[in-house]
């Protein structure tokens, strides 16, 4: 897979799971990509109708977290395959915003083929390698708009990343995992997928990190993945505003620092604010050792 093909070439390349940092094919959603322009690409993704973790929500809608994960994986794919960044480099998402359109999110008992259009900008390079970028996503299903999004990221070589992280070690498995809150409180159907643990303080939960989870952890990592933090924000919104799952059809999240494995991370929900668009907006933060880890703002239809 090379980025040296003609700028407007029509050739479509297949995708292996390692290009999107997944070990299990069932969790790798892009299945092909092509270059449309110097910094524009199209990725084809396949959404399963029966994924164990990204299960349907609100009756029969594809999970918003599946949409966001598809955006993230599509960007990683192009960084590696389109811009020839080595697979041992580290892709660090710093912020992401998205908007979903429910009329194209129905599952209907079958997989969905999604076209993801990506446009890269604000590209910076260090030593000839891509080091910083912004990406805009447009997702379509049979030509109809599914979602839009925008995000920024840094790309670090393995050496730079190790110098940044110092002597942080991979956690492995088998560490202490606190008990989950009830699955229905967190808007999930299985206790194994709950990433919150109870806390005496109102609207505050401890982040529950199970490195044996087959979807959230698929390779050695020395910090808590960003997607787990976004899932924690969604679950905290469900727990604070339920009953019933909170379905975040729009949101943005900024990551301020890594969430580490060796101390508790606290997830807190601020008061919800009804909006004029028929949605409820809520702010969720994560703090660790007194420092802000992330700030997320999510919005869902009133009542769910």
Residue range 188-239, pLDDT digits in tens: 999 999 999 999 999 999 999 999 999 999 877 889 999 999 999 999 999 9
pLDDT digits (tens, 9 = 90+) for 255-288: 999 999 989 999 999 977 777 677 899 999 999 9
Q: What is the pLDDT of residue 38?
A: 95
Of 171 and 136, the one with more pLDDT: 136
**Stretch(es) of the chain classified as CATH 3.10.129.10:** 13-157, 171-301
CA atoms within 13 A on the CB side of 55: 9
The residues with which 155 forms a beta bridge, in sequence order, are: 91
- Total residues belonging to the chain: 304
Nearest to 42 by CA among 78, 84, 88, 92: 78
pLDDT in tens, 30-52: 999 999 999 999 999 999 999 99
Does residue 71 surpass a pLDDT of 60?
A: yes
1 sits in which H/E element: none
Residues 6+ apart with CB under 8 A from 211: 171, 172, 173, 175, 217, 261
Q: How far apart are CA 103 and CA 146, in angstroms?
A: 8
* CATH superfamily assigned to domain 13-157: Hotdog Thioesterase (3.10.129.10)
Q: What is the pTM of this model?
A: 0.92
SS3 content of the chain, % helix, strand, coil (to 5): 20, 35, 45
Least confident of 4-8, 135-139, 161-165: 4-8
CATH of 171-301, one of 3.10.129.10, 3.40.30.10, 3.40.50.20, 3.40.50.920: 3.10.129.10
Q: Does residue 4 carry a pLDDT above 70?
A: no
């Amino acid at each position: 897979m090379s980025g040296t093909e003609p700028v407007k070439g029509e050739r479509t390349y297949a995708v292996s799971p390692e290009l999107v940092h997944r070990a299990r094919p069932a969790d790798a959603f892009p299945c092909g990509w092509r270059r449309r322009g110097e910094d524009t690409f199209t990725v084809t993704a396949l959404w399963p109708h029966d994924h164990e973790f990204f299960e349907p929500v609100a009756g029969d809608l594809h999970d918003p977290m599946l949409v966001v994960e598809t955006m993230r994986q599509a960007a990683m794919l192009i960084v590696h395959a389109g811009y020839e960044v080595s697979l041992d480099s580290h892709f660090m998402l710093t912020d992401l915003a998205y908007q979903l359109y429910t009329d194209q999110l129905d599952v209907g008992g079958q997989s969905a083929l999604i076209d993801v259009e990506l446009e890269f900008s604000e590209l910076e390079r260090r030593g000839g390698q891509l080091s910083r970028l912004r990406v805009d996503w447009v997702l379509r299903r049979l030509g109809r708009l599914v979602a839009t999004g925008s995000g920024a990221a840094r790309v670090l070589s393995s050496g730079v990343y190790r110098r940044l992280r110092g002597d942080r070690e991979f956690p492995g498995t088998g560490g202490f995992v606190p008990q989950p809150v009830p699955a229905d409180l967190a808007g999930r159907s299985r206790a194994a997928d709950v990433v919150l643990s109870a806390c005496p303080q109102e609207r505050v939960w401890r982040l529950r990190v199970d490195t044996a989870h087959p979807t959230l952890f698929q390779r050695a990592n020395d910090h808590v993945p960003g997607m787990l933090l976004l899932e924690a924000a969604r679950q905290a919104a469900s727990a604070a505003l339920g009953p019933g799952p909170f379905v975040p059809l729009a949101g943005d999240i900024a990551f301020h620092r890594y969430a580490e494995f060796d101390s508790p991370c606290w997830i807190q929900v601020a008061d919800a604010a009804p909006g004029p668009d028929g949605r409820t907006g809520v702010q969720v933060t994560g703090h660790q050792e007194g420092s802000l880890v992330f700030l997320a703002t999510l919005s869902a239809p009133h009542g769910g």
